[in-house]
Amino acid sequence: MTISIDFDGVIHQYSKGWQNGEIYDPPIKGAARFIYDCMFEKNWSVFILSTREVHQIEKWCREVLFQKKELPFEITIIPNDVEKPFWNKKKNLGITNRKLAAHIYIDDRAYKFQGTYESLKLEIESYRTWQG
């Protein structure tokens, strides 16, 4: 299984919005443990997907999310020129700003399509993130 996790609003609290691209907040409680458990308890492939600059996310993950600890896994910036749009590496947290194939996308602004467009516009109009 491959899990894609959005960065802002899912890992990074993102309480003030974009703010010129600065990563200013601490992580959302439980984010580091969730990522670790996905990779080690479940043996899933995990990558972070964001429109942010990937090196900025990598630095924040190492220094803030994982508190400068020695990690039992790699953190890899996934190059944009990879031939296959997949991330199947185990115990290696990928970071990308390119949408790759995943079984599940975890995102605070996502909406699950239920196979019909009948009421979708009304549902989108009333949609709110977990932060309101």
pLDDT (tens, 9 = 90+) of the chain, 132 residues, equals 999 999 999 999 999 999 999 999 999 999 999 999 999 999 999 999 999 999 999 999 999 999 999 999 999 999 987 777 899 999 999 999 999 999 999 999 999 998 999 999 999 999 999 988
What are the structure tokens assigned to 85, written together? 């749009």
**60-to-22, 97, 108 alpha-carbon distances in Å:** 10, 15, 19
φ, ψ of residue 27 to 5 degrees: the values are -70, 160
The strand ranges marked E within 28-109 are 45-49, 74-77, 92-96, 104-106
Residue extents of the structural domains in the chain: 2-125
Burial bucket for residue 75 (CB in 10 Å: 0-12, 13-18, 19+): middle
Query: What are the start-end ranges of the H helices in the chain?
Result: 31-40, 54-60, 120-125
Task: Determine the pLDDT at residue 53.
Answer: 96
